[in-house]
Amino acid sequence: MSLRDRAVVSVLLVVCVSSAGAQTPFEPPRLPDGRPDLQGVWDFRTLTPLQRPEDLADTAVLTAEEAAEVESQAAARTAEANAPSEVRTEPLPVGGSIGAYNRYWVDQGARVVDDQRTSLIVDPPDGRLPALQPGIEMDVLSLGEDLPGVRPVRVRAAGIGADSHEDRGLSERCLLGFNSGPPIVPAGYNQNIQIFQTPDHVVILHEMVHDARIVPLTLAGRNPLPGSIRQWMGSSRGYWDGDTLVVETRNFTDKIASFNPSVTTAAGSGTTLHLTERFRRVGDDTLLYTYTVEDAMTFTRPFTAALPMKRGDAMFEYACHEGNYGLFNMLSGARAAEAASASGQ
C-alpha cells in the first residue's frame, strides 16, 4: 500500500468512527460465509456538497448550529417550491415559469452527513477537486438552455441542441443516471441503491435508470476485459479487504466523462479512468461508501470522496426508456418549430 493510500485509509477510518458515532469498531451482521451483510436498500441523499464551498475554505466541519442552519434553509426552500402557485414567490426549480418538478420530485435530502463535513471530498484535504491537467477543460452545459458543444455529449443532463438524440445528455437518453455513476454523486432524485450478495458475486442495483452492476469476487471471475471492450459503466471486479468490499472498475467507454462533478459538468474521457470504490458497514443503519478517482490524463492527482448511506425502506422500478416521452417530445417539438419557420408561420 502506497503512502497516499495509507493517508486516504486513515481519513476514512476517522469518517467511519464519526459516521458510526462510536469509538469502537462496529461489528456488522454477517452472512453464512462470514462476510459482512451489506444487503438491502441504501439511501444516499445529502445536503453536503461534493466540493467544499469557497466561502468555507478554512472550515472542514460545520458546528452543530451551522449544520442546523443549512438544514433549516433547505427546509424553507422545499416549502417554497411546494407552495401553491398563487403564493409562490419563485418559479418551480425545474421548468421555470412553465412548471415541471417541484420538491416532491426533486429531492436533495434534508440532512448534512453525520460528521457535518463541509464536503464529500476528503482528499485533497481542502475538500476540492484537484486541478485539471494542462489542455483539459471542464465541459459545462445548462439545464435552462442548450449551449454550444461537441459530440459525444458527456454531461449527465442537458444538451447542445435538438437535431438528434446524440445532442442530448446521457440521462436524458436513459443511458446513465445523473447520480448513479459510477462513482455515485448525490443529485436530483432516485437516490437509492440496493445490494445483493452471494459468496462469489455482489450486485449493485441503481434506482436511477435501473442499471445493475454484477461484480465477480472470485479469482476466476476477476480476469480483466481486454482494452478493446468498453462499457457504459465499465468493467467491475471486487474483493474483500477485511470487512470492506473493494470494487475496482476500468474499461469505461470514451462516450462518458472521466468524472461528472454535477449533472451539467464533465471532465476528461472514461477511457483513462481507474475507479476504486469501497463499501463498509459502520452502523446498524449506515453504509459508508467511498471512492477514489485516478486519472492522470485528466486530473493532476487522485481524489477521494466519502458518502455515508442510510438504510432505506424500498426501491421502485424506474422505467426510464419505457416512459421517456421527454426526449421524443423535445425532438418532435424542434421539428415542428422548424416546419413552422420554413412555412412562414
What are the tens digits of pLDDT across the range 104-153?
Answer: 677 888 999 999 999 999 999 999 999 999 999 999 999 888 999 999 99
Is 34 in the same domain as 87?
A: no
Q: By residue range, what is the domain housing residue 67?
A: 63-111
Is 131 in the same domain as 264?
A: yes
Is 71 in the same domain as 53?
A: no
Is residue 211 a contact partner of residue 176, using CB atoms and an 8 Å limit?
yes
Is 188 in the same domain as 335?
A: yes
How confident is the model at residue 7, as a pLDDT? 47
Q: Rounded CA gap, 39 and 245, in Å?
A: 12
Q: Rounded CA gap, 100 and 123, in Å?
A: 37
Which of 76, 111, 146 is at the close of a domain? 111
> Over the chain, what is the mean pLDDT?
89
Is 276 in the same domain as 137?
A: yes
How confident is the model at residue 106, as a pLDDT? 78
Which of 94, 111, 128 is at the close of a domain? 111
Which of 111, 146, 172 is at the close of a domain? 111
Is residue 86 a contact partner of residue 95, using CB atoms and an 8 Å limit?
no
Beta partners for 214? 203
Q: Rounded CA gap, 174 and 328, in Å?
A: 12
How confident is the model at residue 223, as a pLDDT? 81
Residues in the chain predicted with pLDDT less than 70, given as ranges, are 1-23, 85-86, 88-104, 220-221
Is 90 in the same domain as 234?
A: no
Report CA-CA distances (Å) from 112 to 38, 63, 74: 23, 11, 10
Is 98 in the same domain as 135?
A: no
As for how many domains the chain has, the answer is: 2
Is 215 in the same domain as 90?
A: no
pTM as predicted: 0.90
Report CA-CA distances (Å) from 262 to 73, 259, 275: 21, 9, 17
Outline where DSSP puts E strands in the chain.
Answer: 40-43, 121-123, 139-140, 192-197, 201-206, 212-216, 235-241, 244-250, 259-262, 265-267, 274-283, 286-294, 303-311
Is 96 in the same domain as 153?
A: no
Q: Rounded CA gap, 183 and 175, in Å?
A: 15
Is 26 in the same domain as 132?
A: yes
How confident is the model at residue 83, as a pLDDT? 74
Is 197 in the same domain as 310?
A: yes
How confident is the model at residue 1, as a pLDDT? 47
Q: What is the pLDDT of residues 169-205, one digit of tens each?
A: 999 999 999 999 999 999 989 999 999 999 999 999 9
How confident is the model at residue 131, as a pLDDT? 98
Is 44 in the same domain as 78?
A: no
